[in-house]
């Protein structure tokens, strides 16, 4: 029989076994590390109060003591520190009161800066708190500031008009590749709200309600989610490979026509390009080189997007996207003009 002893949580005394106590203590320590400073202390107190309410419900249902499984369930309901911040929890060891106060002060100063507060830019997530199937349409409606029901009606009308299957496939692919808003940080990013210690803490408490499903249904839903996630990553992996191969092939053709252009323009050698019988050698080499270059950036972009989805990493920066778009426009326009001129000349 495991050893149990009383603990005081938010003014309520519970009997808890040793393993459960260690897990709960570790969880509370990580929560305290995630929310520091005066504002964070209030959030931690509220979280402890909510944990006490959940334990109290467990005791009211006939449990004699809090066990390891109970604590695990509470952590699942409240959210792990890594889920709260979308980063690894901060682990600190306080050796004396002075160091503790210094650490809290420094964290308080940091929480007031721009490193910890986002600008509130919206991101696209699946809205799992308002879903019919997957939360794709609800997430898109949140992102566009639409009503979710209007989005669903519009989707249904378009689905009927297109005989269902194109939009059904599109919906399933979106379900596979769009991440769910399943952490407080993601919920705030989905809504476009600033990310602060206070807003994250309030989101933790507002979403800390028991799941509406138990037993087989929950496990089954988890299996479906995992299967969809796996299929989505497989599709994105395939597209990433296609994009990478396309970029490599396009780069190869670009180098080939670059050599042909240099050979014709500098060394008056036309053998490399003349066999194509497509007009002036120099102009043809330059035109085909620009056409090949048009496929490099899309291929790299597709691979990058696939890697971002598979490994849940950040996408390209705005500056990178802007420069890539400008270069792509230049390549396309130049290739179009040269090809038209070459055809007219020929």
pLDDT at 167: 87
Which spans in the chain are helix H?
A: 18-34, 37-60, 68-78, 81-85, 97-111, 136-144, 148-161, 165-177, 184-191, 197-206, 216-266, 271-274, 281-293, 296-310, 318-345
> CA gyration radius for the chain?
29
pLDDT at 102: 41
Residue tagged 């026509």 (tokens): 257
Per residue in 43-64, pLDDT tens? 788 788 888 888 888 888 888 8
The residues of the chain scoring below 70 in pLDDT are 1, 36-39, 79-120, 195-226, 228-229, 275-280, 312-316, 345-346
Domain residue limits, the chain: 4-111, 230-345
Per residue in 208-227, pLDDT tens? 544 433 333 333 445 666 67
pLDDT at 258: 92
Residue of 110, 55, 101 lying closest to 78 (CA atoms): 55
pLDDT at 198: 60
pLDDT at 1: 60
- Angle of helix 197-206 relative to helix 184-191, nearest 10 degrees? 110
């Amino acid at each position: 029989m495991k050893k149990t002893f009383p603990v005081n949580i938010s003014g309520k005394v519970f009997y808890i076994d040793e393993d459960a106590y260690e897990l709960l203590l570790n969880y509370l320590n990580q929560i305290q590390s995630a929310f520091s400073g005066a504002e964070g202390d209030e959030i931690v107190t509220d979280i402890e109060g909510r944990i006490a309410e959940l334990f109290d419900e467990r005791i009211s249902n006939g449990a004699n003591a809090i066990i390891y499984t109970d604590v695990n369930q509470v952590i699942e309901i409240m959210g792990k520190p890594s889920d709260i911040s979308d980063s690894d929890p901060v682990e600190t060891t306080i050796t004396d009161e002075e160091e503790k106060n210094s650490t809290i002060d420094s964290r308080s100063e940091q929480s007031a800066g721009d490193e910890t507060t986002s600008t509130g830019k919206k991101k696209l997530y699946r809205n799992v708190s308002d879903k019919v199937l997957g939360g794709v349409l609800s997430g898109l409606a949140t992102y566009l500031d639409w009503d979710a029901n209007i989005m669903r009606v519009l989707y249904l009308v378009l689905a009927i008009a297109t005989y269902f299957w194109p939009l059904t496939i599109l919906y399933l692919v979106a379900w596979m590749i769009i991440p769910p808003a399943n952490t407080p940080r993601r919920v705030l990013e989905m809504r476009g709200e600033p990310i602060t210690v206070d807003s994250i803490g309030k989101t933790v408490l507002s979403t800390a309600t028991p799941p509406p499903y138990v037993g087989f249904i929950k496990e089954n839903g988890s299996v479906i989610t995992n299967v969809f996630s796996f299929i989505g990553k497989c599709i994105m992996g395939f597209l990433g490979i296609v994009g990478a191969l396309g970029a490599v092939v396009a780069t190869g053709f670009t180098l080939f026509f670059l050599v042909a252009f240099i050979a014709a323009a500098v060394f008056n050698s036309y053998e490399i390009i003349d066999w194509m019988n497509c007009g002036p050698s120099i102009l043809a080499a330059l035109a085909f080189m620009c056409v090949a270059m048009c496929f490099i950036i899309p291929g790299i972009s597709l691979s990058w997007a696939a890697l971002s989805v598979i490994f849940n990493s950040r996408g390209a920066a705005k500056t990178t996207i802007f420069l890539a778009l400008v270069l792509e426009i230049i390549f396309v326009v130049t290739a179009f003009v040269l090809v038209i001129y070459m055809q007219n000349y020929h």
